[in-house]
């Protein structure tokens, strides 16, 4: 099942996307996805993100593969629905997208073994884990200032239940900016897959139903600017699209204290 939360005709609704490409609400009324205002497909309790989880992206950034998962929390205030506007911070020199498979936890998980972890996965969604690379350094870890800005966590447009995806680790990933293909990869290239991540995380914290694990991004990140439109695609999950606008002129620029790392 592929579901979305949206506003249509002044009503907040939940609908299922059918094969005819229309969203059907609980009353059976059909809605064209192009005519509705999308909301977040779910309200996560917490969003746990992975850095350096694709080998090609690790090389792209000039790092070596980490010996265990590199994690950080993405603040819920960063979450943004499909078609919502991403705000480019004043003073930023290099902001880029990261198209990622989001794993949605289906039921509470604590001390779960990898062999059993699939039973705890409710479904999947698309996420764009935006980052201002200016603020990423070895000193400021985890990179909250780089990745925690309001609007830096677009997610959706759909929540796709696990039974809809035959193999979540063989899905094509593509990122477009203004229609130009910038990033292309496949979830098969993850260093650590969902079951291993769930085992690792659930050793020391409870993963609750509705939590989302962002599983990292392949190589191909590049600069986006105010006025650009980003489109993140993952096979079987749809397409997440967001425009970029410059932060209000009254905002004081936040300047990096250390040199950029590109």
Which CATH number do you get for residue 27?
2.30.30.370
In a domain, 193, yes or no: yes
Q: What pLDDT is recorded for position 138?
A: 64
Of the two residues 57 and 87, the one the predictor is more confident about is: 87
Q: How far apart are CA 160 and CA 162, in angstroms?
A: 6
Number of domains in the chain: 2
Q: Cβ-count burial of 16 within 10 angstroms (0-12 exposed, 13-18 middle, 19+ buried)? A: middle
Mean predicted confidence (pLDDT) in 132-137: 84
Pair 92, 199 in one domain: yes
In a domain, 261, yes or no: no
Q: What pLDDT is recorded for position 123?
A: 98
Q: How far apart are CA 104 and CA 256, in angstroms?
A: 33
Pair 32, 126 in one domain: no
Pair 45, 34 in one domain: no
Q: What is the pLDDT of residues 167-192, one digit of tens each?
A: 999 999 999 999 999 999 999 999 99
Pair 131, 31 in one domain: no
**Domain residues for 28?**
1-38
Pair 44, 26 in one domain: no
In a domain, 258, yes or no: no
| pLDDT bracket for residue 162 (50, 70, 90) | very high
Q: What pLDDT is recorded for position 105?
A: 98
Task: Report, in angstroms and rounded to the nearest whole number, the Rg of the chain calculated over CA atoms.
Answer: 18
Pair 237, 112 in one domain: yes
Pair 154, 174 in one domain: yes
Whether the predicted model's global pTM rises above the 0.85 cut: yes
C-alpha closest to that of 47 among 137, 125, 113, 131? 125
CB neighbour list of residue 166: distance below 8 Å, 6 or more residues apart: none
Pair 6, 71 in one domain: no
Pair 224, 147 in one domain: yes
Q: What is the pLDDT of residues 218-231, one digit of tens each?
A: 999 999 999 999 99
| pLDDT bracket for residue 256 (50, 70, 90) | low
Pair 24, 73 in one domain: no
């Amino acid at each position: 099942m592929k579901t979305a939360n949206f506003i249509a005709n002044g009503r907040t609704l939940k609908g299922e996307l059918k094969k005819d490409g229309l969203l059907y609400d609980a009353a059976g009324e059909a809605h064209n996805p192009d005519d509705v205002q999308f909301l977040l497909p779910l309200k996560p309790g917490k969003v746990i993100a992975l850095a350096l989880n694709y080998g090609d992206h690790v090389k792209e950034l000039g790092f070596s593969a980490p010996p265990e998962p590199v994690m950080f929390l993405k603040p819920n205030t960063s979450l943004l629905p499909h078609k919502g506007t991403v705000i480019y911070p004043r003073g930023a020199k290099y902001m880029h997208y990261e198209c990622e498979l989001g794993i949605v936890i289906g039921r509470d998980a604590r001390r779960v073994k990898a062999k059993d972890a699939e039973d705890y996965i409710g479904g999947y969604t698309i996420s764009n884990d935006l980052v201002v690379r200016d603020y990423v350094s070895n000193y400021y870890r985890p990179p909250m200032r780089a990745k925690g800005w309001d609007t830096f966590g677009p997610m959706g447009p759909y929540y796709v239940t696990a039974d809809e995806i035959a193999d979540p680790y063989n899905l094509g990933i593509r990122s477009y900016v203004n229609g130009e293909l910038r990033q292309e990869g496949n979830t098969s290239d993850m260093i650590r897959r969902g079951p291993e991540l769930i085992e690792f995380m659930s050793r020391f914290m409870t993963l609750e139903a509705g939590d989302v694990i962002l599983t990292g991004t392949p190589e191909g990140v590049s600069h986006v600017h105010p006025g650009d439109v980003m489109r993140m695609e993952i096979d079987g999950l749809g397409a997440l699209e967001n425009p970029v606008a410059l932060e209000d002129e009254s905002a004081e620029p936040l300047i990096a204290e250390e040199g950029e790392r590109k």
